[in-house]
């Protein structure tokens, strides 16, 4: 009785490898998104601090006031760029997530096929063994003599 051998094992191994690569790509995308999120929060905090300094300090000269307003304008532009990059990274993360789901489903499909074939193989082996026992019992059976 030969042991069960899944004929598509190499394909299953390859799909597992593709799923691992998709997991890594998703992890990288998620890490980049989280880093960009922290950067956006840092720029927002810098804007809040600059606005606080601008409106709290009434002793600013005209030159200092101009400088603070331009600095604040630059920070707002930085925030716009950082938020744009954050949206792009969120989209990339979503694409990586959907790719991971797709690869996972492909792997699970093959694993399910493997499980079904293994169960069928085990069932066939049991039937074959039962037939052998039945044949042996038939050959050894001696009807009672009258």
Phi/psi at 142 (nearest 5 deg)?
Answer: -120, 115
Q: Classify residue 4: in a domain, yes or no.
A: no
The pLDDT tens digits for 89-142 are 999 999 999 999 999 999 999 999 999 999 999 999 999 999 998 888 888 877
Q: Is the pTM of this model over 0.85?
A: no
Q: Classify residue 100: in a domain, yes or no.
A: yes
Q: Classify residue 120: in a domain, yes or no.
A: no
Q: Classify residue 97: in a domain, yes or no.
A: yes
Residue span of the structural domain in which 81 resides: 9-105
Q: Classify residue 89: in a domain, yes or no.
A: yes
Integer-rounded Cα radius of gyration of the chain: 34
Q: Which residue has the tokens 């744009």?
A: 84
Q: Classify residue 46: in a domain, yes or no.
A: yes
Max CA-CA distance within the chain?
Answer: 130
The per-residue pLDDT for 142 is 77
Strands (E), 22-87: none
- As for how many domains the chain has, the answer is 1
Q: Classify residue 113: in a domain, yes or no.
A: no
Q: Which residue has the tokens 């039937």?
A: 127
Q: Classify residue 110: in a domain, yes or no.
A: no
Q: Which residue has the tokens 């066939």?
A: 124
CATH at 26? 1.20.58
Rounded to whole angstroms, the Cα distance separating 74 from 79 reads: 9
């Amino acid at each position: 009785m030969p042991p069960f051998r899944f004929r598509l094992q190499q394909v299953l191994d390859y799909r597992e490898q593709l799923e691992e690569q998709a997991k890594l790509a998703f992890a990288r995308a998620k890490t980049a998104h989280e880093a960009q999120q922290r950067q956006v929060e840092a720029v927002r905090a810098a804007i809040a601090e600059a606005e606080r300094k601008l409106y709290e300090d009434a002793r600013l000269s005209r030159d200092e006031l101009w400088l603070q307003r331009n600095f604040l304008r630059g920070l707002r532009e930085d925030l716009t760029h950082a938020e744009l990059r954050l949206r792009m990274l969120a989209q990339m993360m979503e694409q990586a997530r959907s790719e991971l789901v797709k690869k996972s489903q492909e792997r699970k499909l093959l694993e399910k096929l493997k499980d079904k074939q293994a169960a069928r193989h085990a069932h066939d082996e049991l039937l074959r063994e039962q037939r052998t026992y039945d044949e042996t019992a038939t050959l050894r059976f001696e009807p009672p003599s009258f």
